[in-house]
Chains A and B, each alone.
Chain A
C-alpha cells in the first residue's frame, strides 16, 4: 500500500530533551516536506526537500533540523524542544513534475508532540 508513515504518533517530552520524528514513504517520491498544524493557523511548512541531500527552510524552521540521506526517509529533529513546539506534525511527499512542479502531496498520519 502506498503510504507515508510517521513515528511516533504521540510523544510527550520535556524541554531540552532532543527528539527525532521519523518519516518514511514508499512511493519513490522525490519531494518531502514537514508541516506543523496549530489551531486557527492551518498548516505551516517547516522544511522541505526536493531530493536526496537537498533540503531548504519553509516558513517556520526555527528550532528544527532535517536530513535527507535516503530518498524514502526525511526525519525531523528537535535538538532542544521548547513548549512552543507543542503541535501536530505532518510529513508529506510528492512526485515532481517538469511542467507543473510539485503535484499533490500525500500526508502521513501525524505526530502529536507535547513539550512540557
Chain B
C-alpha cells in the first residue's frame, strides 16, 4: 500500500539552527511530492512541490527540498530557522500519472518548535 513516513514527530530547535525533516514514501509509479505547513490554528499551506525536473526545489520562506528518487525521499531543509517557523509540517505524495484520483497520501506530520 502507498504510504508516507516522516521520521521525526517532534523537533525542537533554537533560532538560527539548521533544519532537516525527513520524508520517505512508498509508491511504485510517477509521483508528485509536496510539503505543507500548518501554523497553529490555521489551514494547510503549500511550502513547495515537486512534479518533475530539477530535484532540488525551492519553496516559500527559505525552505527547500531535495527529491532523491533512488531513496524514495523528499527531505525538507532550511538553513536557519526562525521562531515564526513553529508549526506542523506534512509531507504528502500523490500519483503523477495522468488521470490519477488526486488522493494525497500524507505523512503523520512533524511538529517543529523553535525556541527564541
Interface residues, chain A, with chain B CB atoms under 8 Å away: 31, 33, 35, 40-45, 48, 50, 56, 58-59, 90, 92, 94, 96-110
Report which of A90, A99, A105, A106 forms a contact with B102, defined as CB distance below 8 A. Answer: A105
Give the complex CA separation of A41 and B106 in angstroms. 8
From B13-21, B44-52, B61-69, B77-85, give the one contacting chain A.
Answer: B44-52
If A104-B49, A107-B43 touch, whether A98 touches B104 (CB-CB below 8 Å) is no
Task: Check: B70 CB closer than 8 A to any chain A CB.
Answer: no
- The total of chain B residues at the interface (CB under 8 A) is 30
Q: Assess whether B34 is in contact with A104, with CB atoms less than 8 Å apart.
A: yes
Q: Assess whether A104 is in contact with B46, with CB atoms less than 8 Å apart.
A: yes
If A41-B108, A42-B90, A101-B97 touch, whether A31 touches B46 (CB-CB below 8 Å) is no
Interface residues, chain B, with chain A CB atoms under 8 Å away: 4, 9, 32, 34, 36, 42-46, 49, 51-52, 90, 92, 94-104, 106-109
User: In the assembled complex, how far is the CB of residue B91 from the closest CB belonging to chain A, in whole angstroms?
Assistant: 9
If A31-B102, A42-B106, A43-B104 touch, whether A102 touches B43 (CB-CB below 8 Å) is no
Report which of B45, B95, B97, B103 forms a contact with A33, defined as CB distance below 8 A. Answer: B103
Q: Assess whether A101 is in contact with B94, with CB atoms less than 8 Å apart.
A: yes
Q: Assess whether B98 is in contact with A107, with CB atoms less than 8 Å apart.
A: no
Residues of chain A within 8 A of B102, CB atoms compared: 31, 33, 48, 50, 94, 96, 101-102, 105
